[in-house]
Amino acid sequence: MSKYMIMSKERLAKSIRNIPDFPIPGIQFKDVTTLFKEPELLQELSDILYEMYKDKGITKVVGIESRGFIMGPVLATRLGAGFVPVRKPGKLPAETVEISYDKEYGKDTIQIHKDAISENDVVLLHDDLLATGGTMKAACELVGKFNPKDVYVNFIIELKDLNGRAAFNPSTKIDSVLEL
């Protein structure tokens, strides 16, 4: 990794806003919107993500609702790939495929359009934060139903103390821009 990339990552990490007790008491929320509002930080984040995946042959970037919808399309554009949203039920207009999964506080369901991914695609799943890994693990399983050529998983932030990687199959290719 270049000196520029290390300095950029340090700058990005310092720019993240911490919100105590959000959304519930005891949670220290990592607010990534601070990375998006400053043009220089947004460009640095875009450059780092592009460098991570430019040689992987990505054909589709799958963004997880809702913060995966911010950098997902930016990254797809830079990679010359398409963008596919994964959403909660009732938000996608065409025929969907869905998966339900357990969360810390109940069940949830996510959906993707039935025609969104083909077996010839190389897919990059993107979201803002890896905490416990439940939603992204479900998204990986959902994308896996399409049997793409290859799948990569990316987060802007990984909260190392929560050990979210443990939720995934050890062969899952997971990268994070920042480890906090």
Percent of the chain with pLDDT over 90: 89
Assess whether 98 carries a catalytic annotation: no
Check whether 27 has a pLDDT greater than 70.
yes
pTM of the shown model = 0.93
**What are the sequence ranges of the domains in the chain?**
3-179
Catalytic-labelled residue, pool 44, 67, 87, 158 = 67
Say how far apart CA 17 and CA 32 lie, in whole Å.
7
Check whether 4 has a pLDDT greater than 60.
no
**In this predicted structure, what is the pLDDT of residue 103?**
80
Percent of the chain with pLDDT over 70: 96
Q: Quickly state the pLDDT bin for 5 (edges 50, 70, 90).
A: low
Residue 14 identity (one-letter amino acid): K
Assess whether 87 carries a catalytic annotation: no
Q: State the average pLDDT for the chain.
A: 94
Q: Are strands 82-86 and 106-113 parallel, antiparallel or unpaired?
A: unpaired
Question: Tokens for 33?
Answer: 């919107």
Class level of CATH domain 3-179: alpha beta
Choice among 7-16, 43-52, 74-83, 112-121 with the minimum mean pLDDT: 7-16
Mean pLDDT of 53-75: 97
CB 156 within 8 A of CB 36: no
Question: Tokens for 10?
Answer: 């340090």
Name the packing angle between helices 39-53 and 68-79 (round to 10°): 60
Helix, strand or coil for residue 80?
coil
